[in-house]
Amino acid sequence: MENCNVFWLLLAALMVGVSSSTVGVSEADHYQLDYDYYKHSCPNLEAIVKEQVSTILFTDPTSPAAFLRLLFHDCQVQGCDASILLDSEGSEIVSTKNFGIRKREKIQQIKTALEAECPGQVSCADIIALVARESVAFSGGPEIQIPLGRKDSRTSNHQQADIHLPYSGISVDEFLHIFMSKGMNLEESVAILGAHTLGVGHCRNIVDRLYNPHPGSQIINHSFELLLRLECPTRTPLTSLTVVPNDMTPFIFDNHYYRDVTAGNGLFGIDSDISRDLRTVSVVNQFALDQDHFFQVFSSAFVRLSSTNVIGEAKGEVRRICNRVNE
């Protein structure tokens, strides 16, 4: 998955219990997501989103990684509330940890199509979640059913993004704390890292590991290290856009990430660390051998992630335009 900071660790999900029809999310207002939320108000929602997303993804194969990252960065700060789309002064998007975030304008493109069919009904937050879901399936990953009914926040703060978005040198201890303190089990936590199977990483986030590694962060596969040095030849990247693939199949959602990690080809420190840590190594090995099992666990983790700290009408709204609050 496309990432600047370890990516999407962001993911930290406020994992909540899933029932057959609803998902409990915000304890503050006891708001419930529902798998049939738009059954009457916008029955063609998912078909419209699928059509719109397919057009975008066919024209730009890097889009799935961008949309996944957009979801992760949104949900990690305030919850899954489309706060990352707001362009108000000092909003989340200006945080340096949101470097490289792309495709926000495509959410508005899809919103416009939905407004023509179901005016004032579908939130930008639900669109982000649905687009990420479609991106996984389009790229060869599992088809995931997610509950809907998220509302859009009226606030966005770059300082919150600075605090809550993880940095590229995150440790296994920190990573597990982020996820498990919010309800994910060990398997789900490791599975969400599998989103790294899509997209690229930026040289700016791995040069310290290449040229100034701290003890334990060194790349153990020297051939892989040489390849990375060719892609990122200086301690200071020549441009901020210099990138390297996350795994050998950066446009396909598969378990290749775990196979690369077990072979010593982890791009980020956390990628290599989970293959050596006694708490996570057995899960990594299992996912590397069994793609179906990885897909199953990832699907569960995705539902939990995309249900993080969602808000209802009492605290949110359905924005008419995704990058600004309603007047």
Q: Are 92 and 98 within 8 A, CB to CB?
A: yes
Q: Does 249 appear as a known binding residue?
A: yes
Continuous segment of H or E residues that includes residue 327: none
Continuous segment of H or E residues that includes residue 47: helix 45-59
In this structure, are strands 243-245 and 31-34 parallel, antiparallel, or unpaired? unpaired
195: its two tokens: 């989103």
Rg of the chain over Cα atoms, rounded to whole angstroms, equals: 19
Q: Does 273 appear as a known binding residue?
A: no
Beta-bridge partners for 200: 245
Q: Are 174 and 189 within 8 A, CB to CB?
A: no
Q: Does 196 appear as a known binding residue?
A: yes
Q: Does 87 appear as a known binding residue?
A: no
Q: Is 256 annotated in the active site?
A: no
Q: Does 91 appear as a known binding residue?
A: no
Return the residue matching tokens 């890292």: 193
Q: Does 303 appear as a known binding residue?
A: no
Task: Exactly one of 73, 158, 202, 256 is catalytic; name it.
Answer: 73
Return the residue matching tokens 């396909």: 252
Q: Does 83 appear as a known binding residue?
A: yes
Q: Are 139 and 252 within 8 A, CB to CB?
A: yes
277: its two tokens: 């840590």
Q: Does 254 appear as a known binding residue?
A: yes
d(CA 94, CA 102): 13
Q: Does 131 appear as a known binding residue?
A: no
- How distant is the alpha carbon of residue 236 from its chain centre? 27
Full DSSP string of 107-121: HHHHHHHHHHHSTTT
Assign 6 to helix, strand or coil. coil
Provide the annotated binding site for substrate.
166
Provide the annotated binding site for heme b.
196
Provide the annotated binding site.
74, 77, 79, 81, 83, 92, 166, 196-197, 249, 254
Provide the annotated binding site for Ca(2+).
74, 77, 79, 81, 83, 92, 197, 249, 254
Positions annotated as catalytic residues are: 73
